[in-house]
Chain A
């Protein structure tokens, strides 16, 4: 029995190919629709603001946020899922990115070696990295833009790119065009300068 569990954990713990990852996201979308809910993670930021009393300061945060408790539970579950995967499934998960991407990183002065790239950029997402100007900008400015932009656009990757496009909503397609426009501007024209700070 114990060996079977070990075997199963080892099997699930392999890095998943894209079609398994995408398929499982569709499973999540299906379960939420089956439960009568729409998949959209960034709505939680609004709920958290409202739960902290932001309703007194802007009408945008005056809504029945307790009706959104289910979505906070999804976010909490995602924290647990991350913990479980990192502890029990694959502690040393790597980013199996292409050799070209590693070359691009090296050309920007980010020293990473092909086949040994971790999950997050240590220059920003470690405490040493965060307490540098560029690290702090990468964490705080990007978080701010993600939170601001997601609500302005009415959704993020899950709400627009997955839920919205699955429902053939052209506003969601437009939002995704925006996501990629912003992303390409950042990665090509702004990010190289932030790295030099």
Chain B
């Protein structure tokens, strides 16, 4: 009998413990409270979070940073935040199309903006981010520079479901083939295109598995001996490509175009193994998102961009600019860590 009582008690104790921990982390009433929700927790988001927190300090706003890694976790986080009565949320949706309903519901209940990856057609008030299509076109330019005489190229990415990924890929393809500026165009993942000296061999998707990313890069090198250029579109893709090239002894022979600012990618640029990278400015994402949320809360709609798209500029980093870019990045990250 007593044992049964103890057994009933155990979950209760656990619950009490959780509540206790939860209660301790509460605080600061009265201030504007906004949430900055990412789509994962890699170093890119550490920088973004640092930006968001900095904006919080500068603008006197409480910033709650959450880093859910999949759509389900995102939904749960959003629901929790809404139930907490948060004043504003900035989200980087993983799968914008299918999360549209959730986004619209959140828009109805609080000030809601998107960052990093957009979900066109939803009621979101604003989108803060790089224009991925334009960034893709910038990467496409790098491909053309790397292969002045044309050649075969292939794209490597972790997921295709999210808007930024699709736009990024499309931008590269459109720019390389010199197609018109049309962010809505969609080229199939397994399509092969040969036009004007360039030969597009499709998009390799690794499902967010680094070892698989490397395996795919290796397989491509084996399969296409005269591969001209490999484009790594997620941060970890380029390091995986570089490892595969190193193993195959083809560093420098096959051109590489990177996206984002992984250490290995920047080192690759310095070593001359990577032609260049299109770097986003995650810090700005965070800072700008919080700024806009505060403006929305205070009804200062004039501070919003007219077309609802706050374009955060991206930078193209090549050998000449790599060192200074990297140093600045390190400083930013160090500052973020010491404050965070």
A and B pair up = no
